[in-house]
Chains A and B, each alone.
Chain A
């Protein structure tokens, strides 16, 4: 199964001259502007940025749910025109079909492709086995914990052998411990399948720990503020998060985002509010020391 899924030479995402605006009563509102990003085949790339910067908008455009106002999104040279099974997606809200069992959820993409029942059942079992979920194949999603749900979500997105995997804050709703385990699982699957990944998160540690490269976005209207390569060696270990290399990257990204967050909020809050915010931000940077 994993041999067939592996497509190391495929999955080149390119976003060029991208901007996206939507209409409102006051005229067009620019959500993302003048953005170029790319993901090489088999690369793991994250997008971080202050909330509301348009990182999810960008991801949804790559998925094909939103059309760029200007610019172009291509995968392996083909223009993205709409959602397709070529680009698997994992959502923060799990988005499992509650009326389908775990296995039926994983089978869904294969069913849509017209694979006969017995064959797709076997394929789904294999994949669930890889994710350590075979014991839960007959359960309905409601019975599962958040971490398990999201594992099913990832397995489901990978089942059709997509060229790229898009993840929209997939671990945002999970507790810290589960989150760490899920990051490990995702890394393992990614290394096995050699699939290109575009990962949106607001968690800087997560982005550094997982990625080959991180894009940092500006406040709205979003554009790429910086592109940071993550030279940490693989396989990555939890212990690396304490290394000076990691912490340096973290500090750099943190200050980039802080700048943008302040810019994003600056328009909305008074000086008094800003002071309150500074205290909070210092609390954040305390973590740097630890």
Chain B
């Protein structure tokens, strides 16, 4: 094509320097480029250490100032019970069971919630039928479902998974629906005049366009799944990290309370990191 195209074409690449830069130059450049991130990491570590130090001081001196730190375990005591716990198969079983419940409950919520949201977003009648019911059930906290869940399901295990499912289901459904409602109609029209039919439009436009919101729903849903799981385990469980934490209180093993709490925090963080990672894999076009 003639010169006009070349004019609008790619900007010529910057010519590389004749000699490769030395290691020192590279390191310096890397440092400059990542300065902000390094700074944030450094401050983050310092802040966590400061938190531990404050915790240590408050518990060592058993501070009582409105809040009572008399019985609160010190970080060292928690660490001691941690080293003991990781060799205890029972503690590991608590963790494994909680993770399994999350996995099953959350997966079911995603498997039901995402397609249902997509279909509701596309077919008005389905939306009109299901949406009112969903809106009535949605504000009920998963914990309020505990007695009902125990009646509904034959085993404790099933009712806990059910509550985990409920907790994550609504955020996933609502966000998927939201994503569907924001799909740019121009993209749908573009697909149509490239010959796409209903099914292709669903797969090639509606679904990928909704993915960012679906992943928001999955992230929120995962958070609520943990909240619901821990509550259910504390009330009706026999195993699980929530039960472990509650049992530690009943058995006056105070360091284990903090250990259970930290374990829950770490597991929750880990699962949301997993979802974020999956999001980046599935949506390579999104800036990280």
A contacts, CB < 8 Å to B:
63-65, 82-85, 87-89, 91, 93, 95-100, 108-109, 112-113, 130-133, 135-136, 140, 142, 147-148, 151, 156-157, 160, 178, 181-182, 184-185, 188
Contact = CB atoms under 8 A, between A and B. Distances in A.
B193 A132 contact: no
Interface string B270-288: 0000000000000111010
B189 A99 contact: no
Given A131-B1, A142-B285, A188-B1, A95 B194 contact: no
Contacts of A82: 192
A81 to B, nearest CB: 12
A140 B2 CA distance: 26
Contacts of B7: 181
A112 B193 CA distance: 11
A156 B193 CA distance: 11
A64 B208 CA distance: 25
B16 interface: no
Given A99-B211, A142-B285, A185 B5 contact: yes
A185 B283 CA distance: 32
Contacts, number: 97
A138 to B, nearest CB: 11
Contact of A87 (B9, B193, B197): B193
A63 B197 CA distance: 15
Main secondary structure of the interface of B (DSSP, over half): helix
B8 interface: yes
B194 A99 contact: no
Interface string B210-240: 0100000000000000000000000000000
B76 interface: no
Best-buried of B1, B211, B284 by chain A (most CB within 10 Å):
B1
B43 interface: no
B8 A95 contact: no
Contact of A84 (B6, B189, B193, B283): B193
A113 B208 contact: no
